[in-house]
A and B are shown apart, each in its own frame.
Chain A
Amino acid sequence: MRLSELLGMEVVTESGWSLGHVFDVRVELGHGSPKVVGLVVGKPGVRRRLYGEARRGDVSRLPEGAMPWDAVLAIEDKTIRVREVPTPEARPEEAQ
């Protein structure tokens, strides 16, 4: 799987609820290869790329949430199907 394949894919819950598009993949750095921890899903992708990290701030304060990787059920042609989880907007509290 390639990063470019994941970027831009629509993230849809089991019940068909669209959560937005993938605009980044978050990894955890440690020893060895970085581990994928989540998909950054939401609308402000372009703005975020343009402005870079300065406006990114702390992960927990992001307006968009990271959809945990373990919630991903299947990667289809143009969509990523995920388990029913709270919407990304609701996740920042959880992330803390």
Chain B
Amino acid sequence: MSERREMDLAVRLLDQQIVDWAGRRCGNVDDIAIDGEPGKAATVKALLVGPGATQRRRPRLLGFFAGPSFGDASEVEVPWSEIEDVTQVVKLKKEAGELGLGAGDDAAARWLRRIPGS
């Protein structure tokens, strides 16, 4: 982890690019799950990735039109323990697939590989 002891989540982590162990881009930090209760100990539990995680953050008009196409249900939780480092990007300890990330790209790749020269 970087040397600074304190970090502000919205400025430093939210909306940042996530890169897996092998350097593959596999999503952005769409939201952050916090475990705990008001006033009592609370910790960052996981990074939330995927269209489902942006539901609360979308402009209302867009949510209305694009809700279905965003596939509201899909959201992946990346536990904090799987994060290697936060630099200009959020680097993971494992490969994207092991954490359930990059599924959209994987599906598209299967389809594209049928075309010669892909």
Residues of A within 8 A of B (CB): 1-7, 23-30, 32-37, 40, 48-49, 52-53, 56, 59, 69-75, 80
Q: Does B25 contact A (CB under 8 A)?
A: no
Q: How many A-B residue pairs have CB under 8 A?
A: 97
On whether the beta carbons of A53 and B11 are closer than 8 Å, the reply is yes
Of A29, A48, A70, A75, chain B has the most CB atoms within 10 Å of the CB of A29
Interface size class of B (residues with CB under 8 A): 20 to 34
On whether the beta carbons of B43 and A26 are closer than 8 Å, the reply is no
Out of B8, B14, B38, B43, which one reaches A33, CB within 8 Å?
B43
Alpha-carbon gap, A90 to B39, bound state (A) = 20
Q: A2-B34, A3-B31 are in contact. Are A49 and B11 (CB under 8 A)?
A: yes
Q: Do most interface residues of chain B lie in helix, strand or loop, or is the interface mixed?
A: mixed
Q: A4-B56, A33-B81 are in contact. Are A25 and B10 (CB under 8 A)?
A: yes
Alpha-carbon gap, A26 to B6, bound state (A) = 7
Q: A3-B31, A33-B44 are in contact. Are A28 and B5 (CB under 8 A)?
A: yes
Closest 4 CB pairs of A and B: A3-B32, A33-B43, A36-B42, A24-B8
Alpha-carbon gap, A80 to B7, bound state (A) = 21
On whether the beta carbons of A52 and B31 are closer than 8 Å, the reply is no
Q: Could you say which residues of chain B place their CB within 8 Å of the CB of A40?
A: 8
Q: Does B9 contact A (CB under 8 A)?
A: yes
Q: A34-B44, A35-B42, A36-B44 are in contact. Are A4 and B31 (CB under 8 A)?
A: yes
Out of A2, A23, A32, A69, which one reaches B42, CB within 8 Å?
A69
